[in-house]
């Protein structure tokens, strides 16, 4: 069988990983890399022979004649590029978040249905074997009746991160929704993974949703936030920040009466804990590649790990963030400017403790009266 023709749109930044993967699969004969597009595309010497180079995704889609497109571009361009690729007969691996708005998501999902093309969304953690492992153990009653789901991450982002592009940290750009905040982009995987563990991935699975958006950095979007989902009989609380004292590994957790199952989703490590939090068992799982899974789904050999329809619940979060009032600034007295080997950045004093409180009590920062709010 002839290898599918692959095109990569967006090869800088995070797209460099997709480029390396595309070249590897090309060399293995699993695909034929035919084109790349980026405002600053790789040089011909960096690519296999015969790969066309474009500076725009729309131009590539119109001319390259590919079967599969990987789209890794700014959030507000996702819908137009993915829709054009589908209309051109391509299957698509689209980086998260799916689109910038719920309306765009619904239109893109409808287009995928109409064209019969596959759309995989780039939530890499959904390719982890840990998802099925945890769900099976919860179903077997290993941690007792489920009390709640949690998702959290405490990361560091310096001034250079927010200055990396015109759309970074914005809610809108030139009249278009971007929504580049902590909940919807850098730590989006936390919520998406927790929703997958709960088996609540469709838009209709979210009965209600509350967000509490804050910012330490001088940006439009949120960098420190809580989101609380009512999933029907159980809730998911996401508490995240990009203004931590130090980066720690993010995790999602299913908490039951008799213990919990925690997934460190960037490393695919599962911990079974007792009701006091003591680790009883540690399991290292494998992760499948989303592009390889998409290729297998094209061949009828596998189901997609992250099909577009299963990002509907996450898109409810994006929609709520977009519709919410602008994030409020954290009290200046609670923010410290730090300049170290990670660059100049802002740290919210005690934010790690506030994240933990939000998760345990299933409350927003505002409801908790968090210290960085009290003096505002």
CATH number at residue 358: 3.30.360.10
Q: Is the peptide bond before 210 cis (omega within 30 degrees of 0)?
A: no
49 and 14 in a common domain = yes
64 and 166 in a common domain = no
261 and 196 in a common domain = yes
Q: Encode pLDDT of 181-236 as tens digits.
A: 999 999 999 999 999 999 999 999 999 999 999 999 999 999 999 999 999 999 99
372: left (phi over 0), alpha (psi -120 to 50) or beta: alpha
Q: What does the alpha-carbon distance between residue 86 and residue 293 come to, in Å, rounded to a whole number?
A: 18
**Full residue range of the structural domain in which residue 92 is found:** 5-124
Q: What does the alpha-carbon distance between residue 193 and residue 253 come to, in Å, rounded to a whole number?
A: 10
Q: What does the alpha-carbon distance between residue 30 and residue 25 come to, in Å, rounded to a whole number?
A: 5
Q: Encode pLDDT of 241-287 as tens digits.
A: 999 999 999 999 999 999 999 999 999 999 999 999 999 999 999 99
72 and 180 in a common domain = no
How much is the pLDDT for 6? 98
258 and 150 in a common domain = yes
226 and 365 in a common domain = yes
CATH number at residue 22: 3.40.50.720
How much is the pLDDT for 373? 84
159 and 24 in a common domain = no
Whether 141 is in a domain gets the answer no
Given a cut of 50, is residue 376 above it in pLDDT?
no
Identify the sign of the CA torsion 162, 165, 171, 174: positive
Using DSSP's 3-state secondary structure scheme, residue 223 falls into coil
Q: How confident is the model at residue 24 (pLDDT cuts 50, 70, 90)?
A: very high
Q: Total domain count for the chain? A: 2
Q: What does the alpha-carbon distance between residue 338 and residue 350 come to, in Å, rounded to a whole number?
A: 14
Q: How confident is the model at residue 92 (pLDDT cuts 50, 70, 90)?
A: very high
User: In 3D, which of 353, 364, 375, 105 has the Cα closest to residue 222?
Assistant: 364
Whether 188 is in a domain gets the answer yes
74 and 22 in a common domain = yes
Q: What is the DSSP string of 55-116?
A: S-HHHHHHHS--SEEEE---GGGHHHHHHHHHHTT-EEEEPSSS-SSHHHHHHHHHHHHHHT
- Average pLDDT of the chain? 97
pLDDT above 70 covers what percent of the chain?
99
Whether 168 is in a domain gets the answer yes
353 and 232 in a common domain = yes
User: In 3D, which of 330, 128, 335 has the Cα closest to residue 212?
Assistant: 330
């Amino acid at each position: 069988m002839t290898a599918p023709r692959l095109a990569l749109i967006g090869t800088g930044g995070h797209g460099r990983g997709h480029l390396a993967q595309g070249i590897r699969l090309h060399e293995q004969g699993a695909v034929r890399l035919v084109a790349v597009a980026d405002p600053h595309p790789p040089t011909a010497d960096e690519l296999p022979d015969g790969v066309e180079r474009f500076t725009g995704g729309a131009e590539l889609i119109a001319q390259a004649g590919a079967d599969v497109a990987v789209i890794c571009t700014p959030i507000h361009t996702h819908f137009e590029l993915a829709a054009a690729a589908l209309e051109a007969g391509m299957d698509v691996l689209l980086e998260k978040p799916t689109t910038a708005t719920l309306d765009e998501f619904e239109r893109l999902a409808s287009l995928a249905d109409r064209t019969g093309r596959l759309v995989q969304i780039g939530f890499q953690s959904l390719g982890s074997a840990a998802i099925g492992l945890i769900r099976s153990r919860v179903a077997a009653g290993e941690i007792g009746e489920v009390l709640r789901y949690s998702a959290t991450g405490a990361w560091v982002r310096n001034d250079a991160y927010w200055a990396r592009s015109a759309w970074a940290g914005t809610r809108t750009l030139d009249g278009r929704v971007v929504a580049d905040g902590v909940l919807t982009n850098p730590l989006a995987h936390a919520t998406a993974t927790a929703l997958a563990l709960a088996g609540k991935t469709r838009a209709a699975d979210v009965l209600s949703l509350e967000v509490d958006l804050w910012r330490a950095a001088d940006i439009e979007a949120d960098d420190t936030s809580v989101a609380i989902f009512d999933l029907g009989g159980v809730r998911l609380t996401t508490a995240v920040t990009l203004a931590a004292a130090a980066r720690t590994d993010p995790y999602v957790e299913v908490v039951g009466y008799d213990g919990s199952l925690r997934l460190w989703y960037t490393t695919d490590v599962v911990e079974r804990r007792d009701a006091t939090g003591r680790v009883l068992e540690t399991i290292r799982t494998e992760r499948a590649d989303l592009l390889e899974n998409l290729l297998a789904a094209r061949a009828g050999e596998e189901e997609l790990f992250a099909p577009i329809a299963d990002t509907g619940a996450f898109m409810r979060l994006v929609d709520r963030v977009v519709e919410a009032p602008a994030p409020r600034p954290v009290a200046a007295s609670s923010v410290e400017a730090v300049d170290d080997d990670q660059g100049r950045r802002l740290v919210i004093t005690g934010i790690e403790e506030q994240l933990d409180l939000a998760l345990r009590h299933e409350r927003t920062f505002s409801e908790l009266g968090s210290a960085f709010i009290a003096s505002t």
